[in-house]
Amino acid sequence: MSSKTTQRIVIVGGVAAGASAATRARRIDPNAEITILEKGPAVSFANCGLPYHLGGEIPDRNKLLVATAELFWNRFRIYVRTNEEVISIDTEAKVLTVKDSVDPTRTFTQVAYDKLILAMGAEPVLPPFAQARSSNVFQLWTLPDMDGILERIKQTKVARALVVGAGFVGIEVVEQLHRIGIQVDLVERSPRVLNRLDPIFANMACNALRKESIHPMTGQSVLEFKREGDKVVAAVLSGGKTLATDLVILGVGVRPRTKLAVEAGLTLGDSGGLLVNEFMQTSDPSIYAAGDLVEYTHQITGSKTLNPLAGPANRSGRIAGEHAASGKSQPMGGVLGTSIVRVFETTVGMTGLNEKYLDEHKIPYRTAIIQATHHASYFPGASNMQLKVLYEAPSGRILGAQAVGGDGVDKRIDVLATAMTLGGTVYDLARIDLAYAPPYGSAKDPIHMIAFTAINDLQGHPRLLTPDAQLEGFQVVDVRTAKERSELPLPNAVPIAIDDLPRDCNQLDPTRPTVVVCHSGKRAHIGACRLQASGFSQVFNLTGGMSVRSQIPKQ
């Protein structure tokens, strides 16, 4: 194409990926004709903020409008056409057929493109039991969804609500409905809330809900709704229970919006998302795709995966926009699924792979867990966290991480995600130079402590056992105080307080496999090192200690 020719870049979909693609394309090519076609009424809104407006934590609805059509034109000279839905793509003629998504009587229009960027995102799954239209059953995905829920709460007496699905959106909705005084039931088909978490850490998140008198019903499905007229009044669960309700909000997952792309002959990947290369080009090099409808490459495994999160959507949109405008850009790179959610007073973060994935794919791994405060423990306001890292042996390459606690969880998960993106190991974590002052951190940050713990395991100083390890056959040495042992008993353990171990370790059999246990694993490490120095041949530390072992979900 001649440099004097004005190229036409058309983006289908706004919000995160589409808006990022459009503005990046403009910055790269100041002369391109750029148009965004958006099916909904708002071109760019903060869909991650929708739950927080429900509960009034974000009081001003207008704050959710990230950018308006007027702003796109005035600042970027980008055309925005809202309430316009693309219904077909003619890839040979490079023409889109567009209809009015509000007024079906309007004549269809044709929009030509030189480069096309698909950014339609994902759509919430509507489960079989909710197929019939009901006036008080909602999903929370768009501004009109949010407005409908608020109108329902305002116009009718909503004393009790049912949230189906305990993923990120479900948890956030539960928190916000509880905030405005609505009694909430939470049902989740999986065995645990926040299903990407490993069971023990998911149980910690569940306990944060229980503290607020919300008792998630996990491992249960909704079989059917009971209705009065067009309103759902109760839900029948697979466990046999019937829950009365005034309002239902569904958050059972999302799927990529690929119908338009498939009908145009574009190739899907094995994960179900649209296949793209590292520059977000589809199987048609004139057509790009970004955001929740594409499949990404996982940073650790190299496999293709869906990753419907706002961060990758924005980054992929930026790359698609730049490459569409100039024919070059940085590659997308991999994703880790780094995510975080607030569960009332508790923060839950995760990145990378979990135990379930590693076990299913027969990938060997080791586990280290620590308990630490987010800044110096002697400084007022120190907040406790549990931090877990999964890593490869013997290399120490970090495979995944999870954290549950108060302040500072986000910082540690972000550091771990950064290290993983750079191919880092626990040895690398141990030498990261982190900022320290008592109000902000510790001289030995939780990042350092988890690294030291993992390195000790890899080097056998001592090896770690997972919190849920079967202890039969081990000589179990409990180095906690008598008070701690009474609060969290450990049957069949030999009680020897840590300060008495040098004197009393001769009571133990040095030839037996021995595991040392304390509350968090810190004293157990000291005790295990003492036993190793005393000639014990097989010594282990129960990582995370009894504080974590006590969180094993009851069967």
Q: What's the Cα-to-Cα distance from 320 to each of 84, 272, 274, rounded to whole Å?
A: 22, 20, 14
User: Residue 59 and residue 458: Cα distance in Å, rounded?
Assistant: 50
N-terminal to C-terminal alpha carbon distance within the chain: 65
Let me know the angle formed at the C-alpha of 198 by 195 and 204, rounded to the nearest 5 degrees.
90
Helix/strand/coil (H/E/C) assignment for every residue in 241-253: CEEECCEEEECCC
∠ CA 168-139-252 to the nearest 5 degrees? 50
* Cβ neighbours of residue 126 closer than 8 Å, sequence gap 6 or more: 139, 250
Residues 23, 197: Cα–Cα separation, whole Å: 35
Residue 517 belongs to what H/E stretch?
strand 514-517
- Quick count: other Cβ atoms within 10 Å of Cβ 289? 31
Among residues 48, 206, 505, 518, the one annotated as catalytic is 48
Residue 242 corresponds to which tokens in the numbers above? 């019937």
Burial class (CB in 10 A: 0-12, 13-18, 19+), 74: exposed
**Cβ neighbours for 327, distance < 8 A, ≥ 6 positions apart:** none
DSSP 8-state secondary structure symbol assigned to residue 298: B
Residue 408 CA to residue 446 CA, distance in Å, equals 10
CB atoms within 10 A of CB 81: 16
Amino acid residing at 410: D
Please name which of 256, 232, 228 lies closest in space to residue 245, comparing C-alpha atoms.
232
For residue 283, give the amino acid letter.
Answer: S
β-partners of residue 67 are: 44
Residue 518 is a catalytic residue: no
Main-chain dihedrals φ then ψ at residue 261, nearest 5 degrees? -65, -40
- CA nearest neighbour of 534 among 553, 504, 510: 510
| Residues of the chain by 3-state class (helix, strand, coil), percent to 5 | 30, 25, 45
User: What distances in angstroms separate CA 536 from CA 461, 492, 505, 508, one per listed residue?
Assistant: 12, 20, 10, 9
Q: Give the other-Cβ count within 10 Å of 481's Cβ.
A: 16
Task: Tell me if residue 271 falls in helix, strand or coil.
Answer: coil
Query: How many Cβ atoms sit within 10 Å of the Cβ of residue 75?
Result: 11
Catalytic annotation, residues: 48
